[in-house]
Amino acid sequence: MTENLAKTGSSKFHKNTFEKTTEGRRQKVLEVAIDEFAANGYSATSINDIARKAHISIGSMYSYFASKEDLFLTIVNNAYVVMEKILDDVAQESIDVFDCIEKMLYASRKFAVEYPQLNQIYLDITTQALSQMSIRLSNKLELITPRLLCNLIKEAKSEGKISSDVDERVVSFCIDNLYMMYQFSFSSDYYKERMRIYIGEDNMGDIDKVEESILKFIRRALGEN
């Protein structure tokens, strides 16, 4: 992950100096920043603490990032690049809409379990206090999934694989809402506890069965023919 994070995404929130430092140093800064932002949230995290824990001076830190916000956005942007790659792979490998829906559900859990901290940071971005920040991210990720899902559903409709009267836009929205909440359910303690209450302690051990039920829910909702 940190390897990917040390690369530059399509948007750039760091200064050139950050690219010129050693890879080890870049990774250390990003690792510590991810730890801090995930555990405390953006507002309660201090860029001074991050510098101290990464063993660099605050002067160096500001030579890499103009502000705490830019450091935060660097992490978020690179996390989007990782998520984008996962979604691209799913799209490439999918045979049809149902296969894609299945693979996307697994990918949501995989991403949450592999990168819990990035998902905790993501939860933070969705809050109103950070609304100004999300504007600067230009909704990259928020465009990939809608387009992918919507096109696949449209295609399946025209091929008669699913009911012809589904509204592909609203249905894509619903399906992605199910993915997001499922992903969140492996991210923060709040959502983990909520899922445990819903599906029960006994079912928590058999996640394959849970996913099978979610997929059945979606397939039926699409009016699979």
Which residues of the chain form contacts with a second copy (CB under 8 A)? Answer: 38-41, 43-44, 120, 123-131, 134-135, 139, 142-143, 146, 163, 166-167, 169-174, 176-178, 180-182, 184, 187-191, 193-195, 197-200, 203, 209-210, 213-214, 216-218, 220-223
What residue has token string 């690049």?
81
Check if the beta carbon of residue 70 is closer than 8 Å to that of residue 13: yes
What residue has token string 């948007």?
11
Q: For residue 222, give both structure tokens.
A: 């699409």
C-beta closer to a second copy: residue 77 or 188 = 188
C-beta closer to a second copy: residue 61 or 149 = 149
Q: How far is the CB of 17 from a second copy (least distance, A)?
A: 29
Q: How far is the CB of 113 from a second copy (least distance, A)?
A: 15
Q: For residue 52, give both structure tokens.
A: 């101290």
C-beta closer to a second copy: residue 26 or 157 = 157
- Residues ≥6 apart with Cβ < 8 Å to 122: 76, 79, 187
Q: How far is the CB of 194 from a second copy (least distance, A)?
A: 5
Q: How far is the CB of 43 from a second copy (least distance, A)?
A: 4
CA distance 184 to 162: 28
- Of 134, 146, 30, nearest to 87 by C-alpha is 146
Q: How far is the CB of 67 from a second copy (least distance, A)?
A: 15
Check if the beta carbon of residue 91 is closer than 8 Å to that of residue 148: yes
C-beta closer to a second copy: residue 64 or 168 = 168
Q: How far is the CB of 20 from a second copy (least distance, A)?
A: 33
DSSP letter string over 10-21? SS--S-HHHHHS
C-beta closer to a second copy: residue 82 or 123 = 123
CA distance 123 to 117: 10
C-beta closer to a second copy: residue 78 or 188 = 188
Q: Which letter does DSSP use for residue 185 in this model?
A: T
Query: What is the Cα gyration radius of the chain?
Result: 20
